[in-house]
């Protein structure tokens, strides 16, 4: 994750997801996400958003989005797979944001050279 986290950009991504899913009805969205309506409103605020971990985790869980994309706008297949993996934590409950902080093995940028011996 190389990009700094911009709360306004995070809130814009949250608003795009929530607006598409529930036609902007925050009360229904908060209930479905199992978060407080106030917490959701604060996370979505256009002028001075304060996205909460509770709301971010609920959105990742409910909508199946990549947590790295949600935070930075950059897609990361590894963090997306970890977030979707129900066996990632105890009972599948490990925070996708905690997973982002765990060291991950580096993936080689090019495949190893194969040599065929005669």
Q: Is 19 among the domain residues?
A: yes
Q: Is 29 among the domain residues?
A: yes
∠ Cα 76 80 61 (to 5°) = 140
Q: Using pLDDT thresholds of 50, 70 and 90, give the confidence band for residue 25.
A: confident
Question: How many Å apart are CA 92 and CA 73, to the nearest integer?
Answer: 24
Average pLDDT over residues 51-63: 93
Kindly report the pTM of this predicted structure: 0.72
Residue range of the domain that includes 61: 7-98
Q: Is 28 among the domain residues?
A: yes
Q: Give the pLDDT confidence score for residue 88 in this predicted structure.
A: 54
Q: What is the mean pLDDT of the chain?
A: 79
Number of domains in the chain: 1
Q: Give the pLDDT confidence score for residue 91 in this predicted structure.
A: 45
Tens digit of pLDDT for each residue in 7-21?
A: 999 999 999 998 866
Instruction: Decide which of 93 and 8 is more confident.
Output: 8
Report the phi/psi class of residue 34: left, alpha or beta, with left for phi > 0 and alpha for psi in -120 to 50.
Answer: left
CATH of the domain at 82: 1.10.260.40
Q: What is the 3-state secondary structure (H, E, C) of 27-49?
A: HHHHHHHCCCHHHHHHHHCCCCC
DSSP 8-class letter at 114: P
């Amino acid at each position: 994750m190389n990009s700094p986290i911009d709360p306004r950009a995070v809130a814009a991504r949250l608003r795009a997801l929530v607006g598409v899913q529930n036609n902007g009805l925050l009360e229904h969205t908060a209930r479905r996400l199992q978060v407080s309506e106030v917490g959701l409103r604060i996370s979505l605020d256009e002028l001075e958003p304060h996205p909460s971990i509770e709301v971010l985790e609920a959105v990742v869980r409910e909508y199946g989005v990549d947590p790295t994309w949600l935070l930075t706008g950059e897609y990361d297949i590894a963090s997306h797979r970890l977030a979707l993996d129900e066996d990632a934590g105890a009972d599948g409950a490990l925070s996708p944001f905690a997973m982002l902080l765990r060291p991950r093995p580096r993936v080689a940028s090019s495949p190893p050279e194969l040599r065929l011996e005669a």
